[in-house]
Amino acid sequence: MALERIYRPAFYLAMHFQTMPTFIKRDNQLWLQVFDLAQKAVDNCVQLIPNYYYQFRHEWIWNVIRASFSCALHIIGVVLYQLEASWTAGTWQMRVPPNWAGLVRVSLRTLKHWAAESIDIEIMRSTLERMYQGTCRLANVRPDLHLL
């Protein structure tokens, strides 16, 4: 479960590349490593979200639910980053998972299943759903929320 957390600092840096001072942006070796680690963060989330789809209670379920939410946020973050990067020439690129919308819907389904158990999970679900709908609108993708 810690895989999505290991690369979080690099992912954060990569997502904020555009806001960095110019002298820091010029260090290509640094950014090559940062974006490589950030891509590993996204790749880990792609692998983890389907494994976080739990429908039975166990001692780690709340941690699993929060990790699923975090991974979905990583994926939405990389989609939004790529949308912005596509408008700016000469910026670093990241690979968006081709099934990103489906992965976020799996996370939403997990949150929806457990939302009745705790108000904070319902808040996480509604927040993620709004973020997903907004990202789909920006990326010209149908949200397909009826598949939940």
The pLDDT value recorded for residue 52 is 83
Residue 1 pLDDT exceeds 60:
no
| For the chain, counts of helices (H) and of strands (E) | 7, 0
DSSP characters for 33-84?
A: HHHHHHHHHHHHHHHHHHHT---S--TTHHHHHHHHHHHHHHHHHHHHHHHH
Q: Which of 37, 40, 62 is nearest to 52 (CA)?
A: 62
Average pLDDT over residues 8-35: 90
The pLDDT value recorded for residue 79 is 96
Residues 29, 92: Cα–Cα separation, whole Å: 12
Helices 61-87, 100-114: crossing angle, 10 deg rounding: 150
Terminal CA-CA length for the chain: 24
Q: What is the share, in percent, of the chain residues with pLDDT greater than 70? A: 95
Average pLDDT over residues 7-28: 90
The pLDDT value recorded for residue 122 is 95
Q: pLDDT confidence of 99, banded at 50, 70, 90?
A: very high
pLDDT digits (tens, 9 = 90+) for 46-89: 999 998 887 767 777 888 899 999 999 999 999 999 998 877 77
The pLDDT value recorded for residue 61 is 81
- Please state the φ and ψ torsions of residue 118, each to the nearest 5 degrees: -155, 135
The pLDDT value recorded for residue 92 is 85
Residue 15 pLDDT exceeds 70:
yes
The pLDDT value recorded for residue 103 is 96
Tokens of 82: 């790529």
Q: pLDDT confidence of 147, banded at 50, 70, 90?
A: low
Tokens of 138: 């920006």
3-state secondary structure of 143: coil
The HSE-up count of residue 1 (CA atoms within 13 Å, CB side) is 12
